[in-house]
Structure 1
Amino acid sequence: MHHAKRIRLTLMVAACSAALCFAKEDPVQWTLIPVNGTSEVAPGGNAWFELKATIQPGWHLYSPTTPPGGPIITKLTLTPNASITGKTFYRPQPARKLDPNFNIDTETYSGNAVFLLQVVTSKSVPGKVPVEANARYQACSDVKCLPPVKKSVAAELSVVAGAAAVSFALPAGYIPVAGSSDSTTTTKATTTPVVFGSSNASRDLLPFLLTAFGFGLAALFTPCVFPMIPITVSFFLNQDIEKRSAWRQALLFCVGIVVLFTGLGVLVTAITGPFGVVQLGSSPWVNSFIALVFFAFGLSLLGAFELRLPSGLVTSLDRASQGGGYAGTLLMGLTFSLTSFACIGPIVGPLLIASVQSKGFEPVLGMMSFATGLAAPFFLLALFPSYMQRLPRSGIWMVRVKVVLGFIVLAVMLKYISNVDQVLQTHWLSRERFLAAWIVLFALPGLYLFGILRMEGVNKDQPVGVTRALVAALFLIFAISLVPGLFGARLGDLDAFVPEGSGVSLAGTGTETATGTCFKNDLDAALQSAREQNKLVLVNFTGYACTNCHWMKANMFTRSEIQAVLKNLVVVDLYTDGTDAESEKNQKLEDQKFGTASIPFYALMDAEQNVIATFPQLTHNVQEFRAFLEKRPVAARG
């Protein structure tokens, strides 16, 4: 008798011990609560719930996106209910790391994992609706895994006629769980794209016009424009006119530039299409011609030979000026426009495209503001030509300035040669070769000004002044600062003008990189990859010869906070300025889908090509660009 009691007591103790043991091996607790505490919804409306997994320290769950062939993933389901006609589960971004046991990248949740559940109620009679969510999962630690279990948690929903619609936007990083949505009944996310950046249509007109005016002033310092200043000023200085007539000619010259630039830009855009103007800056023929011109100009400044205007052009200008001041002014304005347009085409490209395609007046006003900014300095110099006469006319300093400018012009020439190399994809002018040439070309002016390099304007017996020494030191410092770039170091804003290194480009062949899955000129493959991985697609309309595009790749996409977001996207680079059929196809896509030709242009879309957000320009604001990358569809509200 006592023996039987002892056996029963032993069995009870063992059972209790086992129960306590299993109770300890339950590291995940689930809860289901309405979002924002709202449990009332109108018939046929949407309701949102938080399905929260509280995971004990040291344990983790496997995301539904973990690749096949690995551990058991978390599977979420909803118990069928006639009062619920549709549902979708949304998951947060998991942590990703290599699991040596399975030799694959696994995606896990630890701590508190909050899933979201959207349900659509039927349009039947209002009442209480039970909502039961089920989770089948496997909890693992670093040393062991528990057997898979299935848990259910429930909440109650009140369907009330006339209840207020639930307003809720998906937090950043949440995307639907594959296979969890009833596509025939669940309301879809809105696809109205959000425009980030200063190109948003809601911006004020005044800042836009001031920006365009500033671009015009900046364009004054481009290589094709700046050399025209002395020619233009000399033309006005040679006019023997009264002050009132000078004022009229100055105004006519300014208006002539504005009208001719606007008319020429609209004409070129209308004839060549929306990409014609932008591609002036990337055309191999245009860049080769400009490089040749700058090579000749640089050698001339260095004293190799003397460049003069064709005698026929000089004669024509003289006859025009003698035949009538106003006609000469218009001719000078036309000559200026034609000479400078090729260099600043990429700057005015977006404005010209907008002036053709838009139904409003803002693009035209922007183009006029740009041209006004470009013409304003000429207007002032033409109005007050005496200021030019007061400038020093001669001296050894002019010879030194000419020689220094010669080296700078040759350095600028390399940029145009690099454009040809990148567009044609010949890859003979690599980043290292380009920087080596720049280091030499920027070091030589420093050596020249210090008197080490003997050329015209240097007298070995003349001491080096303070100003001359400081300028020489600046050139040498700049040249030395380029040396780290030879070994892969980033150069900040200068990377916009330097060819890309071998590790800068985001695009690949669909393989995993530091910035996620990347493709080049293959949107279809990127969309297919997005479907398989249940990710969004970042479409990057870019260019081989686009300096702003290079800056974004080198200085924005390489930032750790941006790369962390890019890992959750499929990135595809679509080049629009090449000479191949792919570039032409990408041009048409950008024009037809987004109505623009500007680059860089970024679009965030889902695997069905529904545009979620766009970012139409370069930006130095990291948080603004990250907010664009983290934009997700806003679920429809019932």
Structure 2
Amino acid sequence: MRSRGYTIGLLLLFAHVSLAQQDTIVESGPERSGASVRAVKVADRLGVAVHFQGTSDLHYYANKESAPGGFALQVETAAEGVQFGDVEFPKQSLFYDRAFEKEVEVFVGDFTVFIPIVSAPKTGSAEVTVKIGGIACTSKLCLPPFEKILSAKINFTDASAWPVIQWENATQTSPSPSSRISVSGRINPQGFSIPIAMALALLAGVSINIMPCVLPILPLVVMRLVEQSRQSPRHRIGLGFAFSGGIVLFFVVFAAVAAIIKWRTGVAIDWGDHLRYPSVAAAMFLLIVVMGLFLLDVFSIRLPGVITASQSSGQGLAGSIGMGFFAAILSTPCSGAYFGMVLIWAQTQTWIVGMTAIVLMGVGMALPYVVLVGFPKLLQKIPRPGIWMDHFRKAMAFVLFYLAIKLALPALSGDRLLNVVKYAVILSFALWMWGGWVSFSTPTGKKWVIRGLAVILAVASGFWLLPSESATTSSSIDWQPYDSARVNRSVSEKQTVLIKFTADWCTNCKVVEKTVFHDPKVADLIRTKGVLAMMGDTTQKHFPATIDLREIYKIPGTVPTTIVLTGDGTQHQLLGIFDKQDLINILQPLPEGTK
């Protein structure tokens, strides 16, 4: 009864607030969230309810500790002659952030924030002002920090007629003075002044050098710096500053891209956003794998400037700049909390201040190398290069492989994950052909043939295994996760249910997906006939779909299996690979919009 009362209360509140004007809080493409303000009662308490209505992929952060830049959702209420109590937030939802591999507490979709009234006049009315601030993100990007002011006129004379809601708050919080929203200025929860923010940017850059993502490239950097220390000061300083310049160049490019995106779309880039895009994550995974193979001497790059600093030519400078740029790229997946905090802050400032802060992070990362180049005697404390450094360099290749899996692949799932791993194996073989099947003594013609075959193998397998994101999600069927209770409920309501039992490791399942369920006629029939399409994942033995396939449908775990349960109680089973016409023949006789 308590749950039913809570639901009825929320429905009443929704009906009440639907009459109020919904103000848009944030919006990005199809994702949107708005809010409205109404007077309500919770038991015997009067108060103000801020009702948020939004799409399912747009969320606000519940805690300052997990929010980008500390921009948790904040709500403040003020009205002349009215005293309000602490803000009461609803129960949070958990959102798994793939870029940082952790669950964070968020508010998503439709929810209500309640602010109780402690004291107010018995009669008359008051203009209530509600200030809302924070940051909103989707699973792919974070929008700029925002602040929004809503207002509503509340009549205390008819307080007895205010709608009643059942309220179960998760937390009670009152914004601290240091984190309050200022209407006249920018939201600044950390209280940064520009000089402090710039100092933090420099410190964040320096701290990148101790991150595990940069560790694998350090042997190459150390060998380069040791070699440079033996050369003329002019040569040493030139190559050293070229390496440091490559680091700074990456941050300059990043700052420019962030400024352009912010200017054209209003979207703020969060550090790690690129890992939310499967194509970018796959490319980064493959790049790190290739770098690991290079450290293992599977192949070599015939640019001595990339390995040593023995040249005085432009190639040596280009190699130094390239290595510095690559070191900065490697730092992106795990660059620390300060880094993300400063980055979010930078994008709330003017473009000059913001770009300066981002570039300063690059200067901070390059600073230790500038010091080593300027004072080469410090390098004398490093053991002389020898077999230990070669072993250390090759050991770091395996660290790279681990980081590639841990940091890039969480953004991939299902077929794309398997295909990217398969391609990595084939690419590794092609690189081994390129570097291991030829030598300096190999005839030129034979060398061209072998390396040409390696390129063809890598390119052809890439076209086969690395389709675009749209190609892997081209089915227009709205697949729902398997739920036996929902299946029973739908069948009892005479709605046809189609269950596609599949598994990530099942090759034949992918054949059925492409030849049957990607067919427009099949998808159109499922939609027009009102069929509930469910995907039963049997990848692991303990999954509910795996158990039900065996115990309810009496099929011993064989996939692919497609089962159609019609409204008249008939069960159709399509086992293994089948023709799309078999499914069309089952669906066509069904009446339109079967429910």
TM-score, scaled to structure 2: 0.36
TM-score, scaled to structure 1: 0.34
- Which structure would you say has the larger RCO, counting Cα contacts within 8 Å and 6 or more residues apart? 1
